[in-house]
Amino acid sequence: MTQTLLELLDSLPARQRLEAWWNAPVGSLDAHGLPSSALPVFAAWLARRARRPLLALVPDPEGSFQEAGAWFRDDVRTVVFPAVETLPFDRLAPDEETVRRRLEAIDALGAGEPVVCFTSWTAITRPTLAPEALRRWGFTLRPGQTYAVDDLLRRLTTLGYRREALVQGRGEFSVRGGILDCFPPDRRRPLRSEFFGDELESLREFEVESQGSVGDVAAARILPAAEIMLTPEAVAGADGPLRETNFSHTLPEVRDQWLTDIERVRSGAYFDGIEGFQAYLDPAQPTLFAHLPQDALILSLDGRRSLTQAEQREQELQELVAVEIERGELPQGLRPGLVSIASLRQAAGGWRRLEVARGAELGSLDLGFEPVDAYAGRIDAFSDRVRTDARAKSRLLIVTQQEPRLRELLEDRDVYPAGGVFVWSQTPLAAGLVVLGNQPVAQGFRVPSQQLEVYGDTDLFGGLRQRVRRGVVRARSATWELEFEPGDLIVHVDHGIGRFTGMRLMGDEGQEREYMQLEYAEGDKLYVPVEHLDRIQKYVGGGDAAPKLQRLGTGEWDRAKRKVRESVEEVARDLLDLYSKRQLVEGHAFSEDGPWQHELEQSFAYDETPDQVRVLEEIKVDMEDSRPMDRLLCGDVGFGKTELAVRAAFKAVMDGKQVAVLVPTTVLAQQHYLTFRDRFQPFPVKVDMLSRFRSDAEATDVLRRLMVGEVDVVIGTHRLLQKDVRFKDLGLVVLDEEQRFGVMQKEKLKQLRASVDVLSLSATPIPRTLHMALAGIRDLSVIQTPPEERLPIKTFVTADDDDLIKEVIQRELQRGGQVFYVYNRVQTIKKAEERVKRLVPQARVVVGHGQMPESTLADVMLKFIKGDADVLVCSTIIESGLDIPNANTIVVVDAHRMGLAQLYQLRGRVGRAGQRAYAYFLYNPLRSHSENADKRLDVISELHDLGSGFKLALKDLEIRGAGNLLGVEQHGAIAAVGLELYNSMLRDAVESQKTGTPVEMPAGLTLDLPIEHFLPREYVPDEKLRLQVYHDLAAVVDEQGLESAERNLADRFGKPPAPVRNLLYALRVKLLARAAGIAAVETDGDWLVMRLPAGWNGDERRLESQFRSILYVRFGKVRISMPQAGAQWKDRLIDVLGEIERLGRIALAV
């Protein structure tokens, strides 16, 4: 008989007793025979058949949730209620993703439908929202229904949403006229509601980046944005207990911080870390159990062990609080904000409980599941087992992520499985049949009573590709743009460097327009109409000194531009010399991907991000082209650049070429060597290393094998650039962190570049590389999406203090993690080691720095990587590319002495395993630092964001000074005109060198129309946002772009009023005038006057005859009479401009 997996479980011998238990009054049932790999399937079956929610208390809720996702996709609803990593008394905001999942879980359980919620005792100790609050304040939006918009705004504020000008992150909302945008934590995209009065006319999703709508939504439930609600009653209730807080023994700075936060609580405003006051705002401390319906079931797996661990943690936290109170870091009598395990155990007694133990006990119910044997890559033995079982009429189900690969392997061995997509409630499992399902399930199980065997990826291959954390929703990091703020320095292409002071509305009644007000030297003012904002750039000049403002009307700006143009032309010649050499060289065109390439890429342990897929394609296209590749790959620290290098190297080796991977440090060479060797292990590819970790004899052997072609991939430091290194047939050079190499080495690399493919990897593109990339001389690829596992790194910039260091290290060790302690003065690093040992005596401390003998350093690093040490006291040798997933806290002493890129790289060493990571940048509180050092530390603490390496590079340009392109002399040129203008001049110079014809910047166009055209403040209320919209509009270059901008405005801000329609009309006139070459369109009384371009040879008579009654042409000017044109004068002007462009084109053709 053919049955599905769901139906087979219906026939379990334990079914009868289970059914009796879930139908009986509240009670407990002891059971065994459920390996953790079978838990998701059994839990889903139980929830479905009992038709009610199931709470699964398990040792690893996240892992079980992932497994359930692999099994069921959308077939069965599963949620996870994870533990919050931060502690309430830390007063730190919990991770946004964790809060989102907790809210989603309580919402799902409260609905009472069959759902499986995975959680742990530790997760439930943190209180959550009360069900009444959720019911009272939550709401659903549906088009066609009426809402009081003011009431919605009040609800959103109470639910923890922050009001912003522009919605870019979860938990934000904004209002513009009749449009309300909000970003609920459980949605992938934010929502846009458009109201007509109180009626919701339309509800749609929109993209964060473009702010444009992408699709309608039938209805949306708005969940809270935080796990706490600031209702007026809660704030009033908290006031009394907070006033009684005893600060008599706290440190002065701690008291000040607490009092500031208490004031913020009283004001009823949300702030990061308000969760620390939850015990005061909601003294009832509701837990997850408050949301569990009375008929729900609780399944506890290995409960005794889990409870013991949770109680142990509770004990440790109580001790930690006591120590902090004693040290004056917490007030006395503080409410710690966690619910005790004892009270949770008591509460759990109110539901039907299934207590599943690891081993069988007397009288306990056998659920009937067993683990299966693991084969770990022994496919022959597995095939024999499959054949035997099929003959014995067993049912076999294999669920694997590598279905095509496994099918091929089995068919080679005469086993022919059925299958494709597996659905547990639909796919039949017949006796004697092998079914293959394409799901990333890690481990299987056996059900002997049903003659069923299930195998997963780990059982067969010994491993599973890491999956994306299911349901993770993250906003993409914003693109790198510079925005203006009043007070910023700007560059006007025609007038030079000035200061932006604000926006001004000026003009007569009915002819108002908005201007950008700029201030120049000696108090000169310049008002730039908003449609000409494309002539203005932000000044980024590098250097610490502020540039002097230009004087208007003196010619000094033209002189400055001329000097820069000359130096830019010289640079362009040098650059093109190098690049034209490369263009002319006939390099090696690599073949298309073969089967081994696919196999290597399949065996990657993680899911690629969309950016990785796109960039890999770009690299392959370059490699398959015959001209040598020179591509710069920028991606933030830990965004998967190394894997792309591995694949490019493999592609080169498959064509019989050798690959050199150049890295700046020995330690990194060692790490890359291990990575490449592991990835290439199943293939006949020889990888070796050339660095100071190798003895002289070993190095000589590597050199010999390189020369005869016995080594395919060699990884090394600049040792690889020495004269004695010869390759048999070098095809690809991978440069990691190129900016760390010296001038001589770069010269050597330049020679290499002309003939072989080069792939440069960089996490913080230094200004020089950035310039070359932006100037279009070098191909640039960007990875901006973080691997989904990565959480942003919490960064603290604070004074150096023994107690802080002690607590930071202790807390990381309690999580089972490791710590980097960076101290960059090798002479006194011993003192740093003694300090750590004194503060945390139980920690195992090792020391590593670049001046140690290589073998000692290698041993230290290996010890730390293997987890045999807790703290690595080290110099900045760790800044490049080291990947130690278990190290999730980094402490940097004297951070103010380091460069921004260096601080950023150091911070990127942590946060690589889906764990929340912490970075502490410490400075000496007794010393004064340079303004630059302070600026650097401010910037690094701002960039919590993942993917901020690019923004960092731009900030770094502002702070450190724009680096040079091909020589120090460019510093002055960049400072003289600002980076953006310098770049565009360089681009033009390169273009004109290439084509041999001069490329001029388009001249400015004067536009003065007798209509009011601007964005009214009530249409776009926020100043910064209005400026951004003006900037986007001014940058439009064609009719298509203008139409799209028009749609975007209506979508984001509602129906455009008359001044906005006029603004779009003015921009249309500007586009047409520019196409016709006209320098000015001005109003002169009742006339519109246009200056024809010099050398315009169009037929003036024809123009006049076509628009006979309204227009005449004299002395290179076209004049249109507005009274004659009447109400249609706007349309006539558009027609005239189109005709001028057409006649000019005809004259040129003749």
In-domain check, residue 693: yes
196: left (phi over 0), alpha (psi -120 to 50) or beta: beta
Q: Hey, what are 967's tokens?
A: 């020589």
If pLDDT is split at 50, 70 and 90, which confidence band does 947 have? Answer: very low
* Four-point Cα dihedral 411, 416, 422, 427, nearest 10: 180
Tell me: the pLDDT tens digits for 73-91? 667 889 999 988 777 777 7
Task: Give the residue-averaged pLDDT of 500-522.
Answer: 83
Please indicate, yes or no, whether residues 319 and 450 belong to a single structural domain of this protein. Answer: no
Residue 80's domain comprises 5-128+284-366
What Cα–Cα distance (Å) separates residue 610 from each residue in 117, 785, 1104?
30, 8, 57
CATH number at residue 448: 3.40.50.11140
In-domain check, residue 441: yes
Name residue 453's beta-bridge partners.
Answer: 396, 446
Please indicate, yes or no, whether residues 802 and 925 belong to a single structural domain of this protein. Answer: yes
Task: Give the residue-averaged pLDDT of 986-1002.
Answer: 66
Task: Give the residue-averaged pLDDT of 292-312.
Answer: 89
Give the β-pairing of 757-762 and 730-736: parallel
User: Are 910 and 888 a contacting pair, CB within 8 Å?
Assistant: yes
Of 366, 391, 418, the last residue of a domain is 366
In-domain check, residue 831: yes
Does the pLDDT value for residue 472 go beyond 50?
no
Choose the weakest-confidence range: 549-563, 773-787, 996-1010, 1032-1046. Answer: 773-787
If pLDDT is split at 50, 70 and 90, which confidence band does 968 have? Answer: very low
* pLDDT at 820 (0 to 100): 92
Structural domain count of the chain:
6
* pLDDT at 962 (0 to 100): 39
Please indicate, yes or no, whether residues 355 and 424 belong to a single structural domain of this protein. Answer: no
At 1017 the three-state DSSP class reads coil
In-domain check, residue 786: no
Please indicate, yes or no, whether residues 907 and 1029 belong to a single structural domain of this protein. Answer: no
Name residue 862's beta-bridge partners.
Answer: none
Which residues have a Cβ under 8 Å from the Cβ of 913 and sit 6 or more positions away?
Answer: 789, 885, 886, 888
DSSP 8-class letter at 1007:
E
Please indicate, yes or no, whether residues 1034 and 922 belong to a single structural domain of this protein. Answer: no
Does the pLDDT value for residue 532 go beyond 70?
yes
| 407/775: higher pLDDT | 407
Which helix (H) or strand (E) is 632 found in, with range? strand 630-635
Does the pLDDT value for residue 351 go beyond 80?
yes
* pLDDT at 774 (0 to 100): 44
Choose the weakest-confidence range: 350-354, 367-371, 674-678, 1112-1116. Answer: 1112-1116
Does the pLDDT value for residue 768 go beyond 70?
no
Residue (of 636, 657, 648, 962) closest to 782 by Cα position: 636
Does the pLDDT value for residue 1013 go beyond 60?
yes
Tell me: the pLDDT tens digits for 809-859? 988 887 788 999 999 888 889 999 999 999 999 999 999 887 887 778 878
Of 923, 945, 967, the last residue of a domain is 945
User: Are 63 and 82 a contacting pair, CB within 8 Å?
Assistant: no
Maximum mean pLDDT: which of 13-27, 408-422, 964-978, 982-996: 13-27
In-domain check, residue 279: no
- CA 1063 to CA 1070: how far, in whole Å? 11
Q: Which long-range contacts (CB under 8 A, 24 or more apart) does 1143-1147 make?
A: 1143/1098, 1143/1099, 1143/1102, 1143/1103, 1144/1076, 1144/1077, 1144/1093, 1144/1096, 1144/1097, 1144/1098, 1146/1098, 1146/1099, 1147/1096, 1147/1097, 1147/1098, 1147/1099
Choose the weakest-confidence range: 561-575, 715-729, 897-911, 992-1006. Answer: 992-1006
Choose the weakest-confidence range: 97-101, 877-881, 981-985. Answer: 877-881
Does the pLDDT value for residue 478 go beyond 70?
no
| 990/603: higher pLDDT | 603
Residue (of 827, 808, 830, 828) closest to 819 by Cα position: 808
In-domain check, residue 488: no
- CA 187 to CA 471: how far, in whole Å? 10
Choose the weakest-confidence range: 473-482, 963-972, 1133-1142. Answer: 473-482
Please indicate, yes or no, whether residues 358 and 214 belong to a single structural domain of this protein. Answer: no
Average pLDDT taken over every residue of the chain = 81
CATH number at residue 620: 3.40.50.300
CATH number at residue 1032: 3.90.1150.50
Does the pLDDT value for residue 214 go beyond 50?
yes
Environment class of 679 (CB within 10 Å of its CB; exposed 0-12, middle 13-18, buried 19+)? buried
Of 366, 387, 410, the last residue of a domain is 366
Percent of the chain at pLDDT > 70 equals: 84
| 293/459: higher pLDDT | 293
If pLDDT is split at 50, 70 and 90, which confidence band does 480 have? Answer: very low
CATH number at residue 317: 3.40.50.11180
Measure the CA angle with vertex 1048, ends 1047 and 1049; round to 5°. Answer: 90
Please indicate, yes or no, whether residues 324 and 392 belong to a single structural domain of this protein. Answer: no
Task: Give the residue-averaged pLDDT of 420-431.
Answer: 79
Which residue bears the tokens 């290098």? 645
Please indicate, yes or no, whether residues 723 and 699 belong to a single structural domain of this protein. Answer: yes
| 930/823: higher pLDDT | 823
Task: Give the residue-averaged pLDDT of 1002-1030.
Answer: 81
Please indicate, yes or no, whether residues 841 and 764 belong to a single structural domain of this protein. Answer: no
* pTM for the whole structure: 0.67
| 246/907: higher pLDDT | 246
Choose the weakest-confidence range: 336-340, 504-508, 596-600. Answer: 504-508
Tell me: the pLDDT tens digits for 657-686? 999 999 887 778 888 888 899 889 888 999
Please indicate, yes or no, whether residues 85 and 148 belong to a single structural domain of this protein. Answer: no
In-domain check, residue 555: no
Choose the weakest-confidence range: 52-61, 292-301, 310-319, 398-407. Answer: 398-407
Does the pLDDT value for residue 363 go beyond 60?
yes
Does the pLDDT value for residue 187 go beyond 60?
yes
Please indicate, yes or no, whether residues 398 and 334 belong to a single structural domain of this protein. Answer: no
In-domain check, residue 515: no
Does the pLDDT value for residue 377 go beyond 50?
yes
Which residue bears the tokens 């970003």? 183
Question: Strand locations in 928-1052, DSSP E?
Answer: 1006-1007
- CA 923 to CA 637: how far, in whole Å? 24
* pLDDT at 957 (0 to 100): 43
Which residue bears the tokens 């460097």? 497
Please indicate, yes or no, whether residues 1041 and 1119 belong to a single structural domain of this protein. Answer: yes
